[in-house]
A = this chain, B = another copy of it.
Amino acid sequence: MSVATHVDVPSGSPARVDTPAPGDPRLERLSLNQKTTDRWSLAEAVAGCAEAGIPALGVWREPVADVGTTTAARMVADAGLRVSSVCRGGFFTVADAAGRRAALDENRRALDEAAVLGAPCLVLVPGGLPGDRDLRGARARAAEAVEALVPHALEVGVRLAIEPMHPIFAADRGVVSTLGQALDMAEPLPADAVGVVVDTFHVWWEPGVEEQILRAADRIASYQVCEWITPLPADTLLSRGMMGDGHIDFAHLTSLVSAAGYAGDVEVEIFNADVWAADGRDVVATLARRYVELVEPHL
């Protein structure tokens, strides 16, 4: 391997591998989740992916709405890219019936948008406690909401992808806390309608995660990679790191996801103030290097 000529962000260390060029077969399954380059518009993200040779994009609803769903779909297709997922649906743990109906309606609209975009799945962030302390109740409402969305998901051909979230978010963002729990919710429902997200940041610590990933098998609707770093940044929502800067064994988890039969895109989704402050092209180059070094060899 030749000497690296780049510097990684946000670590500032010399890259250990060269930046893969567009067309490099190692990039075939790489996807940029838009949140990683949070300051980029959809047009900038599409251009950034095309320039870097990243073939897929995980889009967020807000920047898609800025241009309109049909236009967004055309922008992605015109650049020769595909949409790997739409972020995000969910947030259906509200306690009152009117709020729950509104959340279901919003999720049906998100499914419609995902269908227009040709996305295989809609990522569901379950939502947190609605101001009370009834965690079991909130979890039950999340399960009921997913079930209620199944007919619409089947109708439009987009899979619901339940995202188990690190317990750090159990109170305020995601009451589904383990991959095992997400699979318990998904399994009674049709596999072509309901899957799960395996996000390394959220599940790396889970006892028995190995068995759960293999159990997940064709329920894995999305594989997302980012890093657990310490000390944890002050804002927990922005506490995710670039692969290689922390404690997660990407070889181990990626091998398991691969052994489980997952053949889809691998999204890099990093919420981090330092990453967001860096130039988008540098971030994309860094994540491509880290991906081909740490993740892709184990797919």
Residues of A within 8 A of B (CB): 129, 133-135, 139, 166-168, 170-172, 177-178, 180-181, 184, 204-207, 228, 230-232, 234-236, 246-249, 252
For A249, give its contact among B133, B180, B234, B235 (CB under 8 Å): B133
For A205, give its contact among B177, B184, B234, B246 (CB under 8 Å): B177
For A180, give its contact among B139, B171, B172, B207 (CB under 8 Å): B207
Complex formed: what's the CA distance from A100 to B202 in Å? 30
List residues of chain B with CB within 8 A of the CB of A204: 135, 170
On whether the beta carbons of A247 and B129 are closer than 8 Å, the reply is yes
Complex formed: what's the CA distance from A235 to B231 in Å? 9
Complex formed: what's the CA distance from A133 to B200 in Å? 13
List residues of chain B with CB within 8 A of the CB of A246: 171
On whether the beta carbons of B205 and A135 are closer than 8 Å, the reply is yes
On whether the beta carbons of A133 and B247 are closer than 8 Å, the reply is yes
List residues of chain B with CB within 8 A of the CB of A234: 234-235
List residues of chain B with CB within 8 A of the CB of A207: 139, 177-178, 180-181, 184
List residues of chain B with CB within 8 A of the CB of A235: 234
Q: Which residue of B lies closest to A207 (CB)?
A: B181
List residues of chain B with CB within 8 A of the CB of A135: 204-205, 247, 249
Closest 7 CB pairs of A and B: A234-B234, A170-B205, A133-B249, A171-B247, A167-B205, A181-B207, A172-B230
13 example contacts (A-B, Cβ-Cβ < 8 A) are as follows A133-B249, A139-B207, A166-B168, A167-B167, A168-B168, A168-B232, A170-B228, A171-B246, A171-B247, A172-B230, A177-B206, A231-B236, A236-B236
On whether the beta carbons of A236 and B232 are closer than 8 Å, the reply is yes
Q: Distance in Å from the Cβ of A181 to the closest Cβ of chain B?
A: 4
List residues of chain B with CB within 8 A of the CB of A236: 231-232, 236
List residues of chain B with CB within 8 A of the CB of A247: 129, 133, 135, 171
Complex formed: what's the CA distance from A206 to B175 in Å? 10
Complex formed: what's the CA distance from A228 to B171 in Å? 8
Complex formed: what's the CA distance from A168 to B184 in Å? 23
Q: Distance in Å from the Cβ of A158 to the closest Cβ of chain B?
A: 27
Complex formed: what's the CA distance from A248 to B129 in Å? 10
Complex formed: what's the CA distance from A230 to B128 in Å? 11
List residues of chain B with CB within 8 A of the CB of A133: 247-249, 252
* Given A167-B166, A168-B167; A249-B205 close (CB under 8 Å): no
List residues of chain B with CB within 8 A of the CB of A139: 207
